[in-house]
Structure 1
């Protein structure tokens, strides 16, 4: 069967199974991976190889991040630390600006920290803020998710944008500066403001219940006072910052010191994403031991065993999602999409953006989409006179939109924030797609003035 037809059929089956029949996401994703492979006529032995390698590769990449980061986040949440941090944010920014605070936190944290571990680390804050304010959980997820994804996809030194800049010879410094110029307005408009609109819509639907809760919070300032029986907001923030600082120090030392310098070697180990989160998990457990031990029968280690059991379902969904993504890649879907778009004579800058967006939606990987699109469009666009920074950012911005069930990132809010698949589309797919389009409009504006703007010639 034609690969594009097979993809449309498979996606229809996936969405119907998830939304209409509410079949387990792991089961649906694995089944659709097999369906897509069979429709495309892949050999049975190859199907088995692709599925197992897809699961293994994603576990190698983020399996430990999910496990350690999940336990780390649950420790902060179960101890009451995230609730205290939520109160602190509300006291500092005001109850009206909580979405802004969450969006900016995501935007900043995802520059040095891998998207998955950043979301897992900050997600308990979503749950704690929702308990305090009774606002729509999907709105908080949209604010955080959009901020995180924009810098993950657009702002170097995250790996994808860095690779794109390197492939087309863009100046890294200017790439970072213009990446922030492109992504920050998109984050504020499509993360913060979209989240506020989403919350107001929910408020209108559930007005009576929410009004009572909001009135109680507004009238009783005692609710926002620090609770001395729980970890303080400052301690919680310090624990969250600890792995981030390790990762950032690692990145800085690698950039400014020789490869064999002792600091580079040492922080290259402790600043590794997996190791940093493992150390943070242990440190948090020890520091918050007196708050956590009462939650289990006997000890901190019993608590860790207890909460680690909850990670199995998340690992299944993420792993099966990458099985599906691997089959899509091996089916030749990206090549078919390129051929289709090339026949339509789309302008080069628009082609770079659209191609990256569609490949990302199809194969579920922003990095794969970036590298594929830049290999196809990048050299010819630069040869035609386009700024390497402009064409590179158009590709990166394209990978922000169309966050679909093919992408492991789609399932993080559904699993960690306890929202439905339908709500996950509202909280992730729509705002990130709007953000991608907004970023592209800014790029078009920059391109129009590229002859006078510094760093774009």
Structure 2
């Protein structure tokens, strides 16, 4: 088959997949499989070969990241149950003060908290962020909403063990330790610079409180407790944050109770203890990468540094601490919830691998490889643009990143591009233009008391700024690797 026919059929497969998801509301898993079937058959692979490639592509990526995603989500679900996230935000406020809270909260969400399923992390932290917003100043709502949006979305796609980062690493064959190191190098400056830029714009009149905030939560929603009063969990299941000696300021009441958020812990374990297993997992993964880089021949170090073993150790540790703090029953409920959350993620990741395998088998990589010079810049810009366009159409950060990376992955060997750069560029592009097709957009809009106009500024524009900054950081890294 001619190169032109392959390019046309690949374009039709991708466009048809997007239309099925957006226009006809077909489940993304089904749409991706149908797109893979069309591409295989239309490019002359044949029925048997096409099905074989789809199933093997699914299986190969599950071998790479299936257990990693499951372990990460389960660990996050248990941390959710122990109240670790609420307490971390409280400690950040006490340690850094209200003015620096947007930066510290976003960095925490974008790094160490990425084992938490995104929607759960958002629902847990949004009420706390909303209450902290007035303490920051007149632009508190704008700054906190932007910080949360940037931290959440950047973390899930760049930082191990975020599900997007795990999926991209598995799809492109990037060692997880390497993804952890380079993802960290991208996510930290991206979050800090993006929040700085948005804060500058807000202070120059980009944010209009009268039109961008809904003012849904009045002062009477924040009753001050009398000295020494004690309060149980609020409508979100989260205990009040201490505001001073003997004084508490409970979160707004009158909101629907969310089952996924915290229950009060039976025992107040030290916060560092709650996060120790997760931090240990990340340290072990990073050490495993160093062992590989320096060629250290040590079986024990290789074993504990293997990502599957490292996350398993973290999960076991988190389970033990969870049993001590909230009890066996709560841990079992958290694990059940985690299995439900991980199922869809695993399926989506797997069929993303099927599409990538079909694209590679069709020969698209060899064709596109001839369109670029030996420079890594052009392919990285292309993968960013493809992911950005897919995200605008589909509204899924993970889906757009996986699809874009899968399309460009075959080019990497021909041009000598490190696959981690393609993964990071695809992740950066998938952050562009988060808007009304995204569940995160509506959650941030409602939970932080913004109008749709306000959310378009803080979420859509804010995360798009982060997308461009992340691309620039990736291009800078491409000079050195």
SS in 1 for 2:472: helix
- Show CA shifts across 1:75-128 (max 9, x none): 00022222211222233334454442255447766xxxxxxxx83358565443
Alignment of 1:349-428 (within 5 A): 350-351=377-378, 353-354=380-381, 357=384, 364=403, 366=405, 369=408, 372-373=411-412, 375-376=414-415, 398-403=425-430, 426=460
SS in 1 for 2:430: coil
> Could you tell me how far 1:37 is from its partner in structure 2?
2.3
In structure 2, the CA distance between the partners of 1:275 and 1:4, relative to structure 1 (3 Å rule), is same
Unaligned 5+ runs, structure 2: 131-140, 224-239, 252-263, 388-399, 433-437, 446-454
Which residue matches 1:92?
95
> Could you tell me how far 1:13 is from its partner in structure 2?
2.5
Tell me if structure 1 keeps the 8 A contact 2:402–2:426. Answer: no
- Number of residue equivalences: 392
RMSD: 5.2
Q: Choose from 149, 154, 157 the match for 1:146.
A: 154
SS in 1 for 2:115: helix
Query: Is residue 275 from structure 1 mapped to residue 302 from structure 2 by the alignment?
Result: no
Tell me if structure 2 keeps the 8 A contact 1:70–1:121. Answer: yes
- Mapped to 1, the partners of 2:17 and 2:309 lie a distance apart of 35
Alignment of 1:189-228 (within 5 A): 189-190=193-194, 193=197, 205-209=212-216, 222-223=248-249
Which residue matches 2:115?
120
> Could you tell me how far 1:347 is from its partner in structure 2?
9.3
Tell me if structure 1 keeps the 8 A contact 2:65–2:170. Answer: no
In structure 2, the CA distance between the partners of 1:359 and 1:266, relative to structure 1 (3 Å rule), is farther
Q: Choose from 354, 379, 396 the match for 1:323.
A: 354
- Mapped to 2, the partners of 1:368 and 1:127 lie a distance apart of 34
Which residue matches 1:286?
320
Which residue matches 1:388?
none
Alignment of 1:170-181 (within 5 A): none
- Show CA shifts across 1:266-317 (max 9, x none): 1321221111111211211111114444655xxx557635642443222222
Tell me if structure 1 keeps the 8 A contact 2:431–2:466. Answer: no
Alignment of 1:223-242 (within 5 A): 223=249, 230-242=268-280
> Could you tell me how far 1:366 is from its partner in structure 2?
4.9
SS in 1 for 2:26: coil
> Could you tell me how far 1:324 is from its partner in structure 2?
1.9
In structure 2, the CA distance between the partners of 1:377 and 1:270, relative to structure 1 (3 Å rule), is closer
Which residue matches 2:364?
333
Q: What's the TM-score once normalised by structure 1's chain length?
A: 0.65
- Mapped to 2, the partners of 1:419 and 1:329 lie a distance apart of 38
- Mapped to 2, the partners of 1:428 and 1:55 lie a distance apart of 34
Which residue matches 2:9?
6
- Mapped to 2, the partners of 1:218 and 1:324 lie a distance apart of 47
Q: Choose from 125, 129, 132 the match for 1:133.
A: 129
In structure 2, the CA distance between the partners of 1:235 and 1:184, relative to structure 1 (3 Å rule), is closer
Which residue matches 2:232?
none
- Mapped to 2, the partners of 1:273 and 1:253 lie a distance apart of 13
Tell me if structure 2 keeps the 8 A contact 1:393–1:443. Answer: no
In structure 2, the CA distance between the partners of 1:121 and 1:21, relative to structure 1 (3 Å rule), is same
Tell me if structure 1 keeps the 8 A contact 2:75–2:318. Answer: yes
> Could you tell me how far 1:162 is from its partner in structure 2?
12
- Mapped to 1, the partners of 2:401 and 2:103 lie a distance apart of 31
In structure 2, the CA distance between the partners of 1:367 and 1:256, relative to structure 1 (3 Å rule), is farther
> Could you tell me how far 1:19 is from its partner in structure 2?
2.9
In structure 2, the CA distance between the partners of 1:98 and 1:213, relative to structure 1 (3 Å rule), is farther
Which residue matches 1:41?
44
SS in 1 for 2:45: coil
- Mapped to 2, the partners of 1:367 and 1:8 lie a distance apart of 14
Which residue matches 1:435?
469
In structure 2, the CA distance between the partners of 1:59 and 1:163, relative to structure 1 (3 Å rule), is closer
In structure 2, the CA distance between the partners of 1:355 and 1:311, relative to structure 1 (3 Å rule), is closer
In structure 2, the CA distance between the partners of 1:5 and 1:28, relative to structure 1 (3 Å rule), is same
- Mapped to 2, the partners of 1:213 and 1:271 lie a distance apart of 52
Which residue matches 2:396?
none
Tell me if structure 1 keeps the 8 A contact 2:106–2:191. Answer: yes
- Mapped to 1, the partners of 2:279 and 2:38 lie a distance apart of 43
Tell me if structure 2 keeps the 8 A contact 1:403–1:428. Answer: no
- Mapped to 1, the partners of 2:325 and 2:364 lie a distance apart of 50
- Mapped to 2, the partners of 1:8 and 1:80 lie a distance apart of 47
- Show CA shifts across 1:318-364 (max 9, x none): 2122212222222222233233x34xxx7946435435646887974
In terms of fraction of residues, the more helix-rich structure is 1
- Mapped to 2, the partners of 1:104 and 1:364 lie a distance apart of 27
> Could you tell me how far 1:232 is from its partner in structure 2?
4.2
